[in-house]
Amino acid sequence: MDEPPLLILASASPRRLALLQQAGIEPDKLRPSEIDETPQRRESPRILAKRLARTKAEVARLWAEKQEDHSGCYILAADTVVSVGRRILPKPETPEEAEDCLRLLSGRAHKVQTGICLISPLGKVRQRLVETKVRFRRLHPQQDIPAYVASDEWRGKAAGYAIQGLAGSFVVKMSGSYTNVVGLPLAETVLLLKGEGYPVYTHWAERAVPV
């Protein structure tokens, strides 16, 4: 029986890897794509998310084409953008930047948009954009915000929070995909892979619990 094509995840995010593993999908290779993620002038959050995902996938494809045993593989990339209106929030690099993000999100609704890009073994490019609306309760400036920043959970996270951690206690309303806010909209990603012939269910039987 022929071996299925390899799946390369063009991301270093442990959250995206864990979500794929939750769906029984184990990437054969992790190949983070180091690119400039600076928004272009007047670029909307949704266009930015799609552009970055596509760029990451293309960079990983160029790398794969140079490897002897990686030809004809699936390449999956994603990028998540958080915005309030048209204002795109950064991944904070300092506690002060994390505090600024949390103050802006306090008591307000924001959007989490993830662009997904899949390149098939035949070179077909498929993209999806998934949007989730999230509202935070009002955060106490001398209690909630300093305590969360001290936890360090904000590091490496878009808009400086991780919904699957302590910041889950800030959310009062959410409309859309929860896994999208974590970092990868799982249902849409699995449908993309299935649509291009990736064997999504290969390892599901291995999870069966003996009776």
Mean pLDDT split into 10-residue runs, the chain, 211 residues: 81 93 94 90 95 96 87 93 94 97 98 97 96 98 98 95 97 98 96 95 80 68
Please give the DSSP secondary-structure letter assigned to residue 29.
E
pLDDT for residue 193: 96
Neighbours of 184 (CB within 10 A): 27
Give the three-state DSSP class for 104: helix
Here the tokens at position 36 are 């400039």
The one catalytic residue among 79, 100, 144, 152: 79
pLDDT for residue 5: 84
| Contact residues for 185 (Cβ-Cβ < 8 A; gap 6+) | 114, 116, 128, 130, 177, 179
Active-site annotation holds for 144: no
Question: What's the pTM?
Answer: 0.92
The two counts, helices (H) then strands (E), for the chain are 6, 7
Residues facing residue 90 across a β-bridge? none
pLDDT for residue 93: 95
Q: How far apart are CA 207 and CA 210, in angstroms?
A: 9
Please give the DSSP secondary-structure letter assigned to residue 15.
H
Fold observed for domain 7-207: Maf protein (3.90.950)
